[in-house]
C-alpha cells in the first residue's frame, strides 16, 4: 500500500466535495426539462417521494459502506464489496465502481471542455450580433474537428486534453490539497452565479418579449413549470421519470460516494453528512436549476417554442443568444457566470470520478498520489478520444447510455441487495448509526431492506422493456412495443437501425422511402449529398415541381468517391441502394464504443484479479 495516507481536512470540505460530486449539469438542464415533460408542479410530488424512499437510503448505504471499507483499508468498491459480501463475485461486481467513473469521466470531461470554451467565447463576446440559428450553429462548428471557433487548431481535441490535464493536476494534489480546495471555492461560486441567474429568471417577466410574441413571458414559464396537473400523478411514466431523476442527480450507483466516504475518519458521522450533501444537491436543483433555463427561454422565445425544444442542448445552443438580449456588459457577465457555473458543476463531479481509480491504485499497487493521478489521465484519455473524434457518429451517446445510465442502475440494485440482505440489515443499520449526529427514523430500516431494492428493480425492468413513446398505459392495455432507441433490449439489438446494418458495406441503403429531389455529387472537400422528399400522389412530376417538394431527409454520404445510383425524380423505398462505394456505417461506431467499454471492464477486472492474488500472497 502507498505510504501517503489521505483524509479530508474539514467536515464542511467533505460535504461540499460530496455535494459537488452530485451537482452536475443535470441539476440545471435535466431537472427542469423532466418537470416540464412530466406534469409541471405535480412532478415534485413523485420526485420528493422517490428522494425519501430511494435517494436518501442509497446515500446512507453508500456513505456507510464507504466508511466501512475505509476502516479496513479499502478505498474503492471492489474490495469494499468483497469485505462485505465474502464471495468472490462481489469484488467483480465492485469493478463497476471504478469502470463507471472512468467511462463517464471520459465523456463528461468533454462536456466540461465545452463549458470552458464557452466561458472564453462569452468573454470574447463571440455571440454578439449573432441570430438564434447562428448561435446554435456555433456549437456544431465547435465539435467539428476541422473548424476552429477560438482560433485554436483541433480546438475540441486540445480543449478536451487541457480540461483533462486540469483534472489530473488537481487530483495529483491529493484530497485535502486538491479536490477539497476546489470544492470549497467552486461550490460557493456556483451557488452565487446560480442565485444571480435565478433572480434574473424569476424577475424577467415580459421585459424581453419581442413585439408580437404573445406567449413570451418568463412568468408563463414558471407557471408551466410549477402549475400542478394532478391528472398526471398516477401515470407510471411520471414516477419512472422522477425515480430516474433522483437516481442520476445524486450520483448514486457509481462508486464515487463509496470512495469519498472511505476517507472519512472511522468515528466520524455519515448519516448527517449524507443528508447535508444530498439536500444541498436538491437545493441547487429545485431552487436554482428550476429558475434559470425555462423562465429565461420562455421570456424571449415563448412557451410554445420551449414546449417543443426543451432539451439539454439549450445550455449551449440557446442560452448565449438569450443573454445577448441583455446588452453587451450583462451578456458577457451572464455568459461567464452561466458557463462558469456549469464548469464548476462539471469539474467537481469529474474530480470525484478520478478518486476511485486513484484509491484502487494506491491501495493495491502502492502508487503515489501523483502517479495514480497521471495514470487516471492516461486511461481516461484513451477512453475519451473516441468520444471527441467520433462525437457526431454517436460514440459519446453510447458511453452515456451504457456507462452513464444502465450500469448505474445495475450497480445500485446490486449494492442495495448486498447491504440489506447479504451484509445484513441489522449490521447495515448499525453501520449507518455509528457516530451519527442525527437520530434516524426507524421506518428507514424496512425501507432500506425492501422498498429501495424494489424501486431499483422496477427502474431496471422498466428500462429493459421500455415501451414506445414511454406510453405505459397503452403497453399494459393494448400491445407492448419496445422503444427501439431507448429500451435496453432495443439498444442491444440495434433495432432502431433498420438499414445499413453491416459494419462495412459496398452499397449505401436509403434510410427512408420517398422521391429523390436532388443529387449533389462529391468533389474535393465536399461529400456527396442526396435529398429525399415526400413522394407525390400523382404518377409523374417535372423537374420544376421537384424543387418545390420539401426535403424529408438529407443523406450525406461518407466518401467523396461514392457513386450515386439514383436520379432526381426517382421514387425509392427505404433500404433501396442509393450509392455504391466503400462504407463504414454508423452501426460500426456503436460496436466500437461498446467494444471500448467492454475492454475497459475487462482490463479493470484483470487488475482486480491481480490485486486479489497479490493480497493472497502477502497473507
Partner 1 sequence: MSTSAILTMVLTQVFVTGVTGYFFYKVLKSPNKEEE
Rounded least distance, CB 202 to partner 1, Å: 9
Cβ 67 to partner 1 shortest distance, Å: 12
The torsion angles phi and psi of 332, rounded to 5 degrees, stand at -65, -45
Comparing CB distances to partner 1, the nearer of 286 and 383 is 286
Q: Does 11 bind partner 1 (CB under 8 A)?
A: yes
Stretch that binds partner 1, among 9-17, 360-368, 447-455, 607-615 (CB under 8 A): 9-17
User: Could you count the other beta carbons within 10 Å of the beta carbon of residue 199?
Assistant: 12
Is-contact 312 95, C-beta < 8 A?
no
Contact between 268 and partner 1 (CB under 8 A)? yes
Alpha-carbon distances, residue 16 vs 48, 541, 543 (angstroms): 22, 67, 65
Strand order of the β-sheet with 571-572 is 551-556, 529-533, 514-520, 571-572
Q: Near partner 1 by CB under 8 A, which window of 11-19, 249-257, 393-401, 441-449? A: 11-19
Name which of 227 and 392 has its Cβ closer to partner 1. 227
Closest separation in Å from C-beta 45 to partner 1? 9
Nearer to partner 1 (CB atom), residue 25 or residue 280: 280
Positions in 83-142 near partner 1 (CB under 8 A): none
Q: Where are the alpha helices (DSSP H) in 41-179?
A: 44-50, 56-71, 77-85, 88-93, 96-124, 132-143, 155-172, 174
Binders of partner 1 among residues 272 to 291 (CB under 8 A) are: 272-273, 275-276, 279-280, 282-283, 286-287
Phi/psi at 510 (nearest 5 deg)?
-65, 130
Q: How many residues bind partner 1 (CB under 8 A)?
A: 31
Shortest distance in whole angstroms from residue 249 CB to partner 1: 13
Encode 87-105: b = buried (16+ Cβ within 10 Å), e = exposed: eeebbbbbbbbbbbbbbbb
Give the shortest CB-340-to-partner 1 separation in angstroms.
22
Segment lying near partner 1 (by CB under 8 A), choices 271-279, 333-341, 368-376, 597-605? 271-279
User: Apex CA 457: angle with CA 452 and CA 462, to 5°?
Assistant: 130
Q: In angstroms, rounded to a whole number, what is the distance separating the alpha carbons of residues 223 and 207?
A: 17
435 interacts with partner 1 by CB under 8 A: yes
With H, G, I as helix, E, B as strand and everything else as coil, classify residue 86.
coil
Residue closer to partner 1, measured from CB, 268 or 468: 268
- If we measure between CA atoms, which residue out of 33, 130, 103, 18 comes closest to residue 66? 18
* Residue list 214-233, contact with partner 1 (CB under 8 A): 219-220, 222-223, 225-228
Residue 565 binds to partner 1 (criterion: CB under 8 A): no
Please identify, using beta-carbon distances, which residue of 228 and 575 lies nearer to partner 1.
228
Q: Using the minimum distance from each CB to partner 1, give the nearer residue, 45 or 158.
A: 45
Binding flag, residue 173, partner 1 (CB under 8 A): no
Cell numbers placing 301: 422565445
DSSP at 153: T
* List 15, 190, 412, 459, residue binding partner 1 (CB under 8 A): 15
Q: Would you count residue 437 as binding partner 1 (CB under 8 A)?
A: yes
Pick the stretch among 39-47, 114-122, 231-239, 443-451 that binds partner 1 (CB under 8 A): 39-47
Q: Is 12 in the site for partner 1 (CB under 8 A)?
A: yes
Strands 514-520 and 504-509: unpaired
**Cβ distance to partner 1 smaller for residue 219 or 391:** 219
Nearest to 466 by CA among 392, 403, 409, 393: 409
Cα 335–chain centre separation: 22
Cα separation, 483 vs 252, in Å, equals: 25
CA quadruple 224, 225, 227, 233: dihedral, nearest 10: 120
> Least Å distance between CB 286 and partner 1?
5
Note whether 596 binds partner 1 by CB under 8 A.
no
Give the nearest distance from C-beta 220 to partner 1 in angstroms.
8
Q: Which residues bind partner 1 (CB under 8 A)?
A: 11-12, 15, 40-41, 44, 219-220, 222-223, 225-228, 265, 267-269, 272-273, 275-276, 279-280, 282-283, 286-287, 435, 437-438
Amino acid at each position: 500500500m502507498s505510504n501517503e495516507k489521505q483524509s479530508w481536512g474539514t467536515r464542511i470540505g467533505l460535504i461540499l466535495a460530496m455535494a459537488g460530486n452530485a451537482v452536475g449539469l443535470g441539476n440545471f438542464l435535466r431537472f427542469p426539462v423532466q418537470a416540464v415533460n412530466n406534469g409541471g408542479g405535480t412532478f415534485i410530488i413523485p420526485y420528493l417521494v422517490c428522494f425519501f424512499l430511494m435517494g436518501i437510503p442509497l446515500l446512507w448505504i453508500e456513505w456507510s459502506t464507504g466508511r466501512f471499507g475505509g476502516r479496513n483499508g479499502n478505498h474503492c468498491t471492489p474490495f469494499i464489496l468483497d469485505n462485505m459480501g465474502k464471495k468472490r463475485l462481489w469484488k467483480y461486481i465492485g469493478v463497476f465502481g471504478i469502470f463507471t467513473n472512468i467511462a463517464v469521466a471520459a465523456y463528461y470531461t468533454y462536456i466540461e471542455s465545452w463549458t470552458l470554451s464557452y466561458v472564453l467565447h462569452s468573454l470574447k463576446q463571440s455571440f454578439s450580433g449573432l441570430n438564434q440559428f447562428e448561435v446554435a450553429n456555433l456549437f456544431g462548428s465547435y465539435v467539428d474537428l476541422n473548424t476552429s471557433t477560438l482560433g485554436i487548431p483541433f480546438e475540441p481535441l486540445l480543449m478536451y486534453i487541457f480540461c483533462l490535464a486540469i483534472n489530473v493536476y488537481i487530483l495529483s494534489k491529493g484530497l485535502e490539497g486538491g479536490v477539497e480546495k476546489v470544492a470549497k471555492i467552486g461550490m460557493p461560486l456556483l451557488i452565487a452565479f446560480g442565485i444571480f441567474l435565478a433572480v434574473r429568471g424569476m424577475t424577467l417577466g415580459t421585459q424581453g418579449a419581442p413585439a408580437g410574441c404573445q406567449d413570451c413571458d418568463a412568468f408563463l414559464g414558471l407557471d408551466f413549470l410549477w402549475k400542478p396537473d394532478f391528472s398526471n400523478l398516477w401515470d407510471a411514466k411520471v414516477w419512472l421519470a422522477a425515480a430516474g431523476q433522483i437516481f442520476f442527480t445524486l450520483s448514486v450507483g457509481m462508486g464515487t460516494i463509496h470512495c469519498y466516504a472511505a476517507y472519512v475518519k472511522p468515528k466520524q458521522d455519515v448519516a448527517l453528512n449524507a443528508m447535508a450533501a444530498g439536500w444541498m444537491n436538491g437545493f441547487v436543483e429545485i431552487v436554482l436549476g428550476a429558475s434559470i433555463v425555462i423562465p429565461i427561454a420562455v421570456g424571449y422565445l415563448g412557451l410554445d417554442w420551449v414546449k417543443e425544444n426543451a432539451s439539454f442542448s439549450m445550455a449551449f445552443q440557446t442560452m448565449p443568444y438569450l443573454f445577448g438580449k441583455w446588452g453587451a456588459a450583462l451578456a458577457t457577465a451572464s455568459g461567464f457566470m452561466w458557463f462558469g457555473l456549469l464548469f464548476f458543476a462539471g469539474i467537481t463531479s469529474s474530480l470525484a470520478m478520478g478518486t476511485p481509480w486513484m484509491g484502487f491504485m494506491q491501495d493495491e499497487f502502492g502508487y503515489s498520489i501523483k502517479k495514480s493521478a497521471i495514470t487516471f489521465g492516461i486511461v481516461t484519455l484513451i477512453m475519451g478520444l473516441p468520444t471527441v473524434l467520433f462525437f457526431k457518429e454517436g460514440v459519446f451517446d453510447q458511453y452515456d447510455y451504457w456507462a452513464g445510465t444502465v450500469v448505474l442502475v445495475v450497480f445500485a440494485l446490486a449494492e442495495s441487495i448486498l447491504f440489506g440482505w447479504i451484509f445484513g440489515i441489522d449490521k447495515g443499520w448499525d453501520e449507518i448509526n455509528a457516530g451519527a449526529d442525527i437520530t434516524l427514523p426507524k421506518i428507514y430500516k424496512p425501507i432500506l431492506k425492501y422498498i429501495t431494492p424494489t424501486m431499483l428493480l422496477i427502474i431496471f425492468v422498466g428500462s429493459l422493456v421500455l415501451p414506445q413513446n414511454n406510453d405505459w398505459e397503452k403497453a399494459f392495455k393494448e400491445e407492448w412495443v419496445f422503444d427501439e432507441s431507448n429500451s435496453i433490449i432495443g439498444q442491444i439489438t440495434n433495432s432502431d437501425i433498420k438499414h445499413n446494418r453491416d459494419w462495412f458495406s459496398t452499397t449505401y441503403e436509403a434510410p427512408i422511402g420517398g422521391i429523390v429531389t436532388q443529387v449533389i455529387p462529391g468533389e474535393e472537400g465536399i461529400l456527396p449529398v442526396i435529398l429525399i422528399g415526400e413522394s407525390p400522389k400523382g404518377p409523374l412530376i417535372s423537374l420544376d415541381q421537384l424543387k418545390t417538394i420539401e426535403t424529408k431527409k438529407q443523406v450525406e454520404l461518407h466518401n467523396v468517391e461514392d457513386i450515386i445510383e439514383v436520379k432526381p425524380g426517382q421514387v425509392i423505398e427505404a433500404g433501396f441502394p442509393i450509392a455504391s462505394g466503400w462504407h463504414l456505417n454508423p452501426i460500426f461506431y456503436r460496436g466500437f464504443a461498446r467494444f471500448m467499454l467492454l475492454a475497459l471492464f475487462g482490463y479493470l477486472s484483470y487488475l482486480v484479479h491481480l490485486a486479489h492474488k497479490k493480497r493472497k500472497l502477502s497473507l
